Every structure is written in C-alpha cells, then in structure tokens.
Structure 1
C-alpha cells in the first residue's frame, strides 16, 4: 500500500471532498471478474492524498490482462483480499464524490465487491469521460490515453490503478484551469444532480438498473403496477423521472408512489418498443395512457361499383383485401364513418357515396346544402369524384406491405453473429411470432408460427413502418422460409 499528499483542487459544481478512483480487474464482467488493484486520489480540505493497493482476486488473471496491466498472478498471490481492505476503502470513499474515467465500470466493480460482503455502497458519481465530451466537444476521442496525449500529462505506468487515477485527477485540474468556471460547473452539475427519490424507494435499486435498451416497470404499494416505459438506456431514462423539474402534477404524483423498479433488457430499440406496447395493452398500468385491448381494428377500402364509382367500405382489418389499399386503422366502425363524414364535407363528396350508400340521380342532403359538388346530380364527373375521394383519404393510407410474403426481422444486440438476438416473424404489418436467443436463430421453429390469427395493431404498424422502410444498425430483414438471403 502507498500514500502521498499534494495540493487540493476546488472543482466548480462539487461541494465537498472528492475521490478519484481507478481499478484494474481480471476482465470486463462485473459479476464474473474481480478487482486486482485499486488506486484512490482523495481531495479534501486537508489536501490531496494518494493511496493504492494490490488485491488478491482469488482467480487467475488472463495472460492478455497481465500483458496489459503488468499485474501477474505472482504479484497478487500475497496481496490482501478485498474483504481485508474493504473497511479502509469505505473510509476513503465515504462522503466523497466518486470520480473515475468511465465511472460506471469502476464504481460497478467496487459496489459489487461490497455487495458480496453484504454492504450497500451509495455515492454521488462523476464521469470524466462525459466531462471531457461536455468541455471539449471539438475532439472525437475522450479515452484516458487520448486525454493524456492531448494535455501532455505525465503517466509513467499506464493501466496501473494509481497512475491512471492520478492522470484522471490531473485532467480535472487542467480542465478547471483551461475552461471557464461557469462551463465546468454546468458540465459537472448535469451529472451530479441528485435524484429526488420517493421516500419508500431504496436508492440501491437505481444502481442495479441496466444501461442498455429495454422496458422498465414502476411498482407502488402492494406491488401494484403504476407505469411501464421503454428506452435505449433504461437507467438514464429512469433517472430522468427523478431529476430536473417535473412538468406536471401527474408526474410528481407518480414519482412519489414508486416503491420498486424492475427492468426487462431487450436486444434493441425495436424490441423495447414492441414489448412496451404489449405490456401496456395487457397490464393497463395506472399512469400509462389507457390503451384498449382491441379484438378487432377496422379499416376503409374502396370498391368500384357497376358505374365506376369508388365507394368506401368499412371492413375488419383482418379480412381486408391485400390487393386494395387500406385507409386508416380504427377502433370501431363508428370511428371510420366519422372520418368519412369529415373528409366528405371538406372535399365536396356526395352523401350517397360517403354517408349512406345509395343510387345516384337524386340530390343528396349535402348537395341541397351546397357542400356536395354534384356527383349525385351529374354536375361532377365520376372521375373527378373518385380522384377527390382518393386525395381526401391519402393521408390515412397505410403503406403497402413491401414483401411478397412473411419475413423475419432479425435484431441483434451486437455486430457479431454470436450476439443475442430477437427474431420477429412479420406479415402484412402483423407480428406473427417472436423468438429470442443467442447466435444462430432456429429457422425451423420460426417457420412454424402456429394457428393464431394475425392481428394488425396500430402501434406495431407505426413502429414497423419506420424500421422496415429504413432498417437501422443491427437489423436485418430476411425472407421466410425458403431463402435466407437478405433482401436487396
């Protein structure tokens, strides 16, 4: 163990002492790997103190990690266990703002190590990667090596805990001198705003939330479901509920009732969107918008009569003809007819076509009121009326299904084929089947979607149109089941 003392830094935006921390580990998994070294630069009214120690991880250090850090199995064989230095670490961190370069990594390992001892660590955090991005947006790289080179920081032992903690502290000092105090304070305060947590919520829950895409659930007393939400970063989104000014009494009321938070990670944003929609419809949380569980949706289609007049017909969306355009998705036939009434008035359409189907030849009510342009009396041609009707409904038109049949939309959480995936079997904007796994999908199982009728959902349709018209990173669209060659 070692300790040195230097002059302190006053960091704008942080009231109280600081602990600049760096650790070395056996790998990148916070649950599987262990700490091999910890270095702390303490900053308080008494000055700046440096302290470090090797830690016996009680597991072999991979050769690649040994080559990177220079820490070998022999070096840590006689080092103390984490439990033997835990008390001293707590004393050095307690009451201080925990600062690290990529703070979630260092804090996650240390907090997990304390959790194994039955102790919950809860500190205010500051990430110098985020601080660098905020203060130096003109630079693309914000890793510690890039910062060391940019500022000319002396670092004699890279990838050793105390040396990296010292370099991080020197970056803080240089940034505080290089940038106006107001800018530093603003960048710091964006990160260090303390969440205003409800009295019945354990703060430790927030640290356990994942940082990737997925769905989160707020629960109240007696495990009652209050709210379901989704995000590409669950933890960041949940924290946003408790930080900053809340804009409505409803939002404040929700936050004060929360007693527990749970999360369901997904492979990507689309999975999160679809899961959120499904969960809200099925579970009807108290604070979500009330989505009716609709057994049927209705749409409008145009049928040509013996005179060539296009007449709108309200049909069940499941029974709609694929050969004709669908206009709108409505929760009831009444809502569909209300839309027809509205467009009929604005476009000068005939009541005998859009209100009550009837033969032409006699003036309709709208014609008598001088709203109908005269299809019923022969003053307007069939061609003009058909064109006006299609123009009036154009905004409601659903996108045509762009494939000849069912497809698989494959979403992966990473770029490699071995990454976790979610596969969605889709046809005519309907979700037929979902499969989750790692590596290669089970194509035989995906080809057997069961006998469940396909149901067109307004929210799912909206999500799928955006994704399928322009697939993003990590998404592939494949035909089913004959060929697994991607569509052009």
Structure 2
C-alpha cells in the first residue's frame, strides 16, 4: 500500500483526547509490503476506567494498575513510527490522543497520517457504512478481540490485504497516496474534498446533517483556514464538536478580506449558525442619546430599534450590543470622570447621590457643580464613543481587486450600511438605481465602513463616489 507504514490502534478511557487517557496501544509496522514488527502494551492511564469502557473493551482498572505509564513506553512507540506513515481507523482520534499524551511529556509528534475510514470510502464508494464493524460485516472478516487494540489492528491489516487482492495493489496505493495530501486531521465522515478548496480570500460554511450551516468563517486563505479547524480539534473542545458534526462544507470566493468580512457577517446573521458566537445578532443594539439641555433628567436616554436609524447617528453615542453592556460601560465612565449617576439616569432618588457622599461625584445633584459644567464634562467623556455622521453626499462604493485571481468586487455603502456587493458595471448600475428598503443600522458594517472609508487603503481598495457620472475614483 505504502512503502512504510504503521497500523495503530488505541484504547482509551473516553473520547476526549484533552481529558481522557490511553489504556492500550497496539502497532504493526509494514515495510515494502512485509510486516517487520508488532508491539502492544497496556498503559496505566492514571485515571479510573469507567464501567462502560470496561464493558466495551474488557480493560479493567485492575488490568492497568501495574501497567507502565505512557511516558515509560513513548520511546518504543516513537521508534516504531520513525520514518513511517501512521495508519489508523478514524486516525484523527488516535492522532489526537498521541499528540496530547506526547505534549504532556514535552515531545512533539511529527508524522504523516492516513485514515482507513476515508480510504474505505474511496475504495468502496458503493457502501454507506465504513466503520470497522461495517467493514467486517461486508467483507466477512472476524475478530476474537474486537475493541482491543491488537484485535482492531489485525482487522485493519486483514481488510487492507483483502482490498489489495480485490482491487489491485496499485489501485489501493494510488488512493492512499492521494489521502496523504489531505492530512490526518480531516474528519473521516467529511464528504468534501478539501484539496478542491482554493487558498484565496473568501467565506466557508460547515454543514452537518441539517441544511443550515453549523459554522461560518472567513479567511484570506480558505484552504489553510479550514484545515486549521481540524488540526485544532485535538486541543479545542469547540473545534472537536465541529469536527464530529461536520459532513460537508462549501465556500464562496471573494476578491479580498473586506468582501469576506462583509459576506461572513451577512451569512451569520441570516443563518444563525450554532457554533458562531460573534456577529450573530444586532437585535439588542442600543446607543445613548445626550439631551441638549443641561438641566434635563436623565441626561442620557438609551435608544434602540428604529431610533438607531443611520441618519440619527450624529446625536448618538455607542453602540452597544446590549442594555447591560451600555449601562456597565457608562458606570465605568462615570466613576473614572466623577460624573453623577443620578443625573445620568443610572441611580434613582433626589438630593446628594451616593457617589457624592463617598467623594466620587462633584455635586451636580446637590448644587455644588453647575449643570452646564457637568454637561460639558459628560460630552467630553463621551466624545470617543460618538457615532460618526455619514461624510458623503450619497452612496459610495469600495472597489476591491485581487491581482492574483483577477476578481473584482464593488461593495456599495450608504449611511454606513452595506447595501450589496456587485461584480460588474451592469450590476452596479442596477444597484444604484433600484429601490431599497429603509436602512437599518448594522454594527459590523458600520465598523468596517468606518475603517476602510475614512482610513487610507492598502492598495487593493478604491473609493467610488456616486451619483457623480462618470464616478470619480480615489484612494480612500
């Protein structure tokens, strides 16, 4: 199959390579088609073996009590793996456990890997099941030690020999070589060929069994970023869950990073993927509106919804993702600047506020500070949070061009809102002259537009001003 490989199987105390431990290791080394060595050992995991695991594997706490620790046998395993490809059924599982066990003794594992689940899917696409039990049933293989490390290794070995007899050694070797390029980290149930993903800017979507995505992400190098998720699965609980649930993935190319960021934000808000924590909702967005009259009480009013209309931004401060965040940050600001919580509307009552009693308020609540002076200090304290007024006469576009792929995207904005992204002059003309729904404030597009429209670009972005005809083009 391959010039040199090691068939390996591990038994463990559970399925989490970060928290669980190895209880048994078995390995068979094959060189030029000939078995040259085999080795197996029980391992003292240093933690208790549960009743469920004991019933599944037959390995009990008493069996591993006198067994060596992993650190004591690691050198034998590494010697077997030296110069070989690590082959296992669902190799991501075994590889993840080895990575974590070796990391605990400050040893790095650098080995190519091959998953026999994925190899079975390539060699026998007419079958649906590719787990070890399914392979045994369809090929008539038997084992007297199923769920023991060497027993499972011998099943893999028998299956590989049978596949080479049925399909030809060259056919099996060709598919094995193609899988080596994909790395071990790939989930065995993943239907999509990761090698087809371009290493260009864009957005990727992970899907499980549902038509809705599990996760949406973006990158300037799509294939590399997708692979990083799977490579981190052995160390990160969320990545592990994603790798377990994923069945297929899709991707959408963009001209550059800005297009990827805008598309990612839109897709996450549209689909609400379960594994995306950020960018999901703007439903609770709010901002503070400062009353112009210094004697008004309260001086600040929290506004949201339609009151966050883009044309009102010049009178607002924020924004905040929730009422709690808005109040918490205002309290911190008041404490730092000696502002009155009563006047701000964060504390009820009349007369001297509590902060004044402990020397943290200058006394606008009890006549010791002029309302006008307190109002001015409040304005100065809030100035860094003031939302920006739209600085253009009408709509503008950001033209993003990728010289490596030749792709050009034009991102159309109005009042800090991302209206659409188009790819041709005809689409741009239609977008500029079509009727649009009332603009709704979006925190993510506001921040992206603020960054890229008002700060000098990096060479791939050009500012297009409308409705001048023909439009003028300048570097932002």
What's the TM-score bracket when you normalise by the shorter of the two chains? 0.5 to 0.7
Q: Does 1:219 align with 2:207?
A: yes
**Residues 188-209 of structure 1: CA distance to partner in whole angstroms, max 9, x if unpaired?**
xxxxx9232222124x611111
> 1:246/1:120 Cα in 2 relative to 1: closer, same or farther (>3 Å)?
closer
Cross-structure match for 2:461: 475
Deviations 1:228-265 (A, max 9, x none): 11111111111112225743222112112211111111
- 1:178 is aligned to none
Equivalent residue, structure 1, for 2:60: none
Aligned counterparts of 1:343 and 1:306: Cα–Cα separation in 2:
18
Q: Residue 294 of structure 1 contacts residue 331 of structure 1 at CA under 8 Å; is this kept in 2?
A: yes
Tell me what 1:199 maps to: 188
Q: Spell out structure 1 runs of 4+ moving beyond 6 A.
A: 90-94, 356-359
**Structure 2 residue 405 is matched with structure 1 residue 405:** no
396, 406, 425: which one aligns with 2:412: 425
Q: What is the SS of the residue equivalent to 1:228?
A: strand
**Partner Cα distance (2:170, 2:82) in 1:** 17
Structure 2: how far apart are the matches of 1:347 and 1:335? 18
Task: Report if aligned partners of 1:195, 1:239 keep a CA contact under 8 Å in 2.
Answer: no
8 Å Cα contact 2:205/2:213 also seen in 1:
yes
Report the Cα offset of residue 288 of structure 1.
1.3
Deviation digits for residues 24-59 of structure 1, max 9, x if unmatched? xxxxxxxxxxxxxxxxxxxxxxxxxxxxxxxxxxxx
Equivalent position SS for 1:329:
strand
Looking at structure 2, the residues matched to 224 and 281 of structure 1 have their Cα atoms a distance apart, in angstroms, of 12
Q: Name the counterpart of 1:324.
A: 314
User: C-alpha displacement at 1:427, in angstroms?
Assistant: 2.1
The answer (yes or no) to whether the contact 2:268–2:280 under 8 Å persists in 1 is no
Matching residue of 2:433: 448
Query: Could you tell me how far apart the structure 2 residues matched to 1:422 and 1:413 are?
Result: 9
Tell me if the contact between 1:309 and 1:382 (Cα under 8 Å) persists in the aligned partners.
Answer: no
Task: Provide Cα deviations, 1:373-424, integer angstroms capped at 9, x if missing partner.
Answer: 11233322445423432343244333443434321122223389xx433222
Q: Which residue of 1 aligns with 2:178?
A: 122
Shift in alpha-carbon separation, 1:310–1:352, aligned structure 2, 3 A: closer
Q: 1:465 to 1:195 in 2, by over 3 A?
A: farther
1:228 maps onto 2:216 in alignment: yes
Counterpart Cα distance in 2 of 1:267 and 1:472: 14
Corresponding residue of 1:248: 236
Aligned-pair distance for 1:332?
4.8
Alpha carbon RMSD of aligned pairs, Å? 3.8
Work out whether residues 308 and 382 of structure 1, in 8 Å CA contact, stay in contact via their aligned partners in 2: no
C-alpha deviation, 1:284, in angstroms: 1.3
Report the TM-score, using the length of structure 1 for normalisation. 0.54
1:74 is aligned to none
CA offsets 1:455-481 (integer angstroms, 9 cap, x no match): 221222222222222323321111111
Deviation track 1:342-391 (CA, whole Å, cap 9, x = no partner) reads: 422332212342016999x9434543454321123332244542343234
Secondary structure of the corresponding residue to residue 304 of structure 1 = coil
- The 3-state SS of whatever aligns with 1:299 is strand
Aligned residue pair count: 309
The answer for the alignment partner of 1:351 in structure 2 is 341
Unmatched tracts of structure 2, length 5 or more: 1-80, 86-167
Measure, in 2, the Cα distance between the counterparts of 1:311 and 1:486: 43
Distance in 1 (alpha carbons) for counterparts of 2:254 and 2:262:
10
Q: Distance in 1 between matches of 2:438 and 2:347?
A: 31
Tell me the distance in 2 between the aligned counterparts of 1:330 and 1:244. Answer: 32
**Counterparts of 1:68-87 in structure 2 under 5 Å?**
none
Q: Say if 2:298 and 2:345, in contact at 8 Å, map to a contact too.
A: no
- Cα displacement (A) at 1:445: 1.6
Structure 1 residues 449 and 363, CA, compared in 2 at 3 Å: closer, same or farther? farther
8 Å Cα contact 1:430/1:461 also seen in 2: yes
For residues 311 and 320 of structure 1, the distance between their equivalents in structure 2, rounded to whole angstroms, comes to: 22
